[in-house]
Amino acid sequence: MTPSAPQTATAPGTAAAARPAVLAFADGTLLRAGRPHRVLAGSLHYFRVRPEQWADRLGRLAALGLNTVDTYVPWNFHERTAGDVRFDGERDLPRFVALAQDAGLDVIVRPGPYICAEWDNGGLPAWLTGTPGMRLRTSYGPFLDAVGRWFDELVPRIAALQAGRGGPVVAVQIENEYGSYGDDRGYVRWVRDALVERGVCELLYTADGPTALMQDGGSLPGHLAAATFGSRPAEAAALLRARRPNEPFLCAEFWNGWFDHWGEPHHVRSADSAAEDVGGILEAGGSVSLYMAHGGTNFGLWAGANHDGERLQPTVTSYDSDAPIAEHGALTPKFHALRKRLTAFTGPGREVPEPPADPPLLAPRTLEVTRGSALLPALRSVGEPVQAPLPLSFEELGQSFGLVLYTAEPLLPPGRQELTVTGLHDRAQVFVDGVPVAVLDRETASFTVPGAGARVRLELLVENQGRINYGPLLGQGKGILGGVRVDRRLVHGWTMRRLPLDTWTRQDVERAAAAAPREDRAGFATARLTVTEPADTFLALPGFGKGFVWVGDTLLGRYWESGPQTTLYLPGPLLRAGGNTLTVLELERFGDHLALTDRPALGPAEEYVETFD
């Protein structure tokens, strides 16, 4: 293709090339229907927002001055168990895309199959990554077969919504930041071909960090190579243009904020810093997508985790990400600073809506707590038991999330005995004869208990704190992956009780919480919330240690006194007029009451700008 010929979604000779893409480029200029164009996009993940709020949040993106919304598609969210693919309710991707079109927005879809996104397992299903011998994100046949079956379900739905067919989808990403993971160029090309063969004919692009290493590993000849970064836009533009002089400069993710891990500071980025670098991208003639424009929430147990080489770093429940549109939809100072920059580059004929008012909030109040069943008796009664000679992992138990209660009865000789757990993923509370003796959070950890020449009831309550979503440890299993020893002797004869939590029905939650109250420092508790008209609120749990909260039968998320966040966002659509039940599973220590507040508490802030060196 000559330098002046517009570059489109597909290479010559493919079946989809007959329909020209709406977005194309020539001589370094991005074109929309043949005219110069800038993509002014923002990330908003439908799976992190209640579907009743999709239209509101999309309208706020338009008011920010954006002309495009981009979203990932998490495979594990749509196919929780193999073969059961769902696109209904909160998984109704076509409805979300249609609402974006109603808001006047183009749509960019990022189908993966890997998405990162600080989402559990980077969006890959645990039933897939737990398959023995599976080789993720490579040309390994069984992996490609599984991706192909998933794409058979997903991609035709995306293709039907493309701009060339009257929909708003103008671009589709090939894989996701693959250059940060591997260099199997054949795999990346296979993903590209799989998209085209299933009907994608709009612009296809890759997105990788702005270094030669990352661009070499993830980009494909003949397709737009975009970059993801949080600073130094001039350097990123220079690198991309030196490598691809005929291509426009596209920042596929501009990190105007950042996410948080439990036990670490709350990351923020000043409005001035974010606006300055967005201005730098636009002044360099580039297009941009804000990551995130609206972050939303890791409802349930969908938050992923990172690993710094020494320890697991679980991601918090909030995905506010210090975005211009806050977790509950409020417009922040960053919104107004970025809107000023973006509207200066709005194309002719496009009217930017006025910023809407912030969503209403419930009045603050305190909720009395009623304690229910104690921790271990409750979990023993509701957990589905499985027996095996050695501990089984979550994956071997067919369980993706939640807790597993491991029980055995080892014989302990007289005197202090050292017990060692190997392959622990991620955290275990250890009980001997019902008494708490240790909390373990390392892959190999030891503790000592007194022996008396008799058998004891050894119980380990193991929590999956989120699967790693980025880097070479992607796909690691959960539970006890090794074994438990008394000195050098393995403990055999285990009963595992499955406690998935996020798939519990209302009846499951009520049954677990309804047993007669017992004097204990942890277990189930309930509170009643009566509202005349449902609205958003923030839930605080003063004095509580660590655990999970349900609103009705919806698992709102995980809380932990280690912070940084000390409130959970409770969206109005989860409440109903009249009485509502909040159920708490506390793992460590009850507090006296729950509190509803009219503002989030996301923790002490630390200024943060992510860079690549």
Handedness of CA 350, 353, 355, 361 (dihedral sign): negative
Compute the distance between CA of residue 174 and CA of residue 203 in angstroms, rounded to an integer: 10
Residue 565 to residue 264: CA distance in whole angstroms: 10
Quick check: helix, strand or coil at residue 26?
Answer: strand
Active site members: 177, 253
* CB of 353 closer than 8 Å to CB of 63: yes
Largest CA distance in the chain: 84
- What is the three-class DSSP state of 273? helix
User: Contact 434/488 with Cβ under 8 angstroms?
Assistant: no
Angle at which helices 375-382 and 506-513 pack, to 10 degrees? Answer: 140
Gap between the Cα atoms of 55 and 52, Å rounded: 7
Amino acid at 577: A
- The residues near 435 (Cβ < 8 Å, ≥ 6 apart) are none
Contact 305, 506 (CB under 8 A): no
Report which of 423, 373, 428, 433 is spatially closest to residue 406, judged by C-alpha positions: 428
User: Quick check: helix, strand or coil at residue 253?
Assistant: strand
Alpha-carbon gap, residue 218 to 174, rounded angstroms: 9
Q: What is the gyration radius of the CA atoms in the chain, in angstroms?
A: 25
Q: Which tokens is 303 given?
A: 């938050």
Measured distance CA(286)–CA(207) in Å, rounded: 14
Cβ-contact 20, 31 below 8 angstroms:
no
- Peptide bond preceding 410 in cis form (omega within 30 of 0): no
